[in-house]
Structures are given as C-alpha cells and as structure tokens.
Amino acid sequence: MRVARLAQRFPQILDELASGEVHLTGLFLLSRHLTEDNVEQLLAEARGKSKRQLEELIARWSPQPDVPTTLTTMAPEPAQTELPTVSGAGNSVPAPRPSMNRARLEPLSPESVRLELTARTAFRDKLEQARNLLSHEIPSGDLATLLELGLDLLIADAIQRRSGAGKPRKRRETKPGSRHVPVDVQREVRERDADRCTFTDAAGRRCSETRFLTIEHIVPFAKGGPTTVDNCCLLCSAHNSYRARQVFGEEHIQNEIAGARARREAIRTPEVQSASPTPPVPPPAVAAAPEPEVFEKVRSALVLSGFKRAQARQAVEQVRLRGVEPRPEPLLRAAIAALTP
C-alpha cells in the first residue's frame, strides 16, 4: 500500500514519518498489520526501531508456525551449475531461482526464524559431511542445530582474532605517522560502543548500523588526534564519510576520491604509469558513495510512495540545499516533512 493511500486511512503515520520515529521501510512492513483498533499501539511500539526490530515486533504481534526443514536441489539453467536451496528447522524454504540469490532471514515468532538461501552444491556436500561427522553429537541431523554449532565456532574464532589470542603481550611501539590501532585499544572501543555505530543525530537518535564498522579518531588523526580509547569510536561507512565531509570539506573529499580513482586506473594500465609517472597520491581519508545516487534513490522512493515526480524532485532539491545529511533515511524523512507540512 502506498504512503499516500495509507495516510488517507491513518493520517497519524505522516507525523511519525516526518519526525523520523518510523522510517519508510518500517511503515511498509507495518502496513499489512495496521487496523483502526491497533494503529496507535502498534505505531507507539514501532517508534525508533530498526527494520529487524520491527520484524521481531510483527512476529510477536502476529506469530507464524514453524516451517519444515528442506534441502532441495534445483534444476540447473543452461550454462549454470546445479544450485541447491537449504534451510533449517524452524527455518524454511520454497526454493528461489538462481537469479534470485539473496538470502532471507525472517522472524516467525519470538522463538523462531525462517532462513532461506541459495548455495553452491559444494555447500550442500559440506553440510552432509558435517552431519555425518557429528552424527553422535547431533543424532537427529537437524540442520538448524548443525548450522548454529558451526556459527558458535566461527564467532568464537573471529572474536579471538579480533581481540588478540593467547596471553597479553607487550604493546609494540607505534611507528611515527602510523594509523595502526593497537589490539587492546580496538577491544576496549568495541566493548564500550557495543559493536554499533556511535553517530548520533541532532535529535539524539543513535545510528543502529552494526555492519561495515571501522574504528575512527574523534579528533582526526590528520589533525594530531591520538590513537587512544577516549579518542576513538566506531563509525559505519556512511557516517565516517559524513563526518569526514564535515571536518575536511567537500572539495578535499572529492580530491581524495579523484586521487584514489587515478591510482586504481594506473594499476590497471601499468604501461601508462611507466610512460608518464605521477607523484604518489596520499591515501584517501575515507571512501564515499557518490551523492547523486543517494538523491536519485530518495526521489524514486517518494514516487513509489505515491508522490508525483515533480513533487519528489522539488522536495529532494529543497532538502539538499538545506544541507541535510546525505544518507537515504535522513533525506527521505526531511523530504516527506517538506511534502506534508
């Protein structure tokens, strides 16, 4: 259901979108479950929640039964290898086609989730081998139990590598000009920040991103900031880019991006590099996605939500000139607020 039509039935959702308490993706998730009887309570519980938290909220409000475990070999398409689809108990699966190769993880109830993915035949063979090797520990051969055990071992190994293995070692001296962050500093920063981006917007909402995190200097390293626990924090790639623009300016960031692009081109064509050598370019301060793509995504989302193309273009241009943070969600909230005064 598009936002424009949904708003006719439940006018209060526009206030939630404009304030940023409920994002557009969340509204689409909730739309099938909103009724005149539950709209106030459901929107109240949905405020400030991420997509995953909203899926869990819906699973609590409308729990679904567990689905059977299946492991299906799909018929290969021409010039393609055989691809199986796999899922675990309490996890699911109708088999997707190879062209629809995105994994899906959906809460069914507070206690169970459905997992659906497409993998290579080698993955299936490894599952069967693990099931045979662990037949005494897991007599049922349940795939969900088997995969969870494997994840436990994988997570433990990753944490050990990140935090440092074995006995504490004397910290090595950091070379002058090095951006290296010692393992003990990394460990304390990640524990303090709970492995989540620390960016907080003007309304006090903290970013919920837990992937593609990097440890960054609060007072930038380029401006003399020390590599200490107090001067380091976790940032996602989008907010690292945003903060770099605030500190160094758009022109500096674009020059860094252009320099990185030139270096990549030189690596691809070494004969050009040897014919006309160029002085080394310092590494980029941050990698950034081109902003025009962000604005185009927001325009498309507004059109899909029921607004006219001209209205969408005007709203996006308005929020761009206001200097709204160049990420889809803040831009979308600001644009909807501009369109629904």
Lowest mean pLDDT across 90-94, 158-162, 211-215, 307-311: 90-94
Which pLDDT value is given to residue 78? 53
- Residue 152's CB: how many other CB atoms inside 10 A? 10
Packing angle, helices 24-31 and 12-19, rounded to 10:
150
Which pLDDT value is given to residue 92? 41
Cα 215 to Cα 55, 195, 249, 252, 300, distances in angstroms: 29, 10, 21, 21, 33
Q: Please tell me the number of Cα atoms within 13 Å of 12 on its side-chain side.
A: 13
- Residue 77 pLDDT exceeds 70: no
Which pLDDT value is given to residue 252? 75
In the block, which residue shows the tokens 């050598």? Answer: 277
Report the C-alpha gap between 65 and 71 in whole angstroms.
19
Q: What is the pLDDT of residues 233-253, one digit of tens each?
A: 999 988 888 888 888 887 777
Q: Span 125-139, mean pLDDT?
A: 90
- Residue 198 pLDDT exceeds 90: yes
Q: Span 288-306, mean pLDDT?
A: 70
Lowest mean pLDDT across 48-52, 56-60, 107-111, 300-304: 300-304
- Dihedrals phi, psi of 86, to nearest 5 degrees: -135, 150
Which pLDDT value is given to residue 285? 44
- Residue 262 pLDDT exceeds 50: yes
Cα 131 to Cα 68, 72, 112, 147, distances in angstroms: 18, 16, 22, 10
Band of residue 170 on the pLDDT scale cut at 50, 70, 90: low
Which pLDDT value is given to residue 91? 43
Report the C-alpha gap between 284 and 252 in whole angstroms.
10
Band of residue 89 on the pLDDT scale cut at 50, 70, 90: very low
Q: Which two tokens stand for residue 247?
A: 């500190």
Q: How far is CA 331 from the centre of its chain?
A: 17
* Rg, C-alpha atoms of the chain: 25
Top-ranked range on mean pLDDT: pick from 100-109, 139-148, 166-175, 283-292: 139-148
Q: Which residues of 116-140 are buried (b: 16+ CB within 10 A; e: fewer)?
A: bbbeeeeebeebeebeeeeeeeeee
Ordered strands of the 112-118 beta sheet: 71-74, 83-86, 112-118, 104-109
Report the C-alpha gap between 233 and 214 in whole angstroms.
8
Tell me the pLDDT of the chain averaged across its residues: 77
Give, in degrees to the nearest 5, the angle at Cα 212 between 122 and 19. Answer: 125
Which pLDDT value is given to residue 101? 57
166 CB-contact burial (10 Å; exposed 0-12 / middle 13-18 / buried 19+): exposed
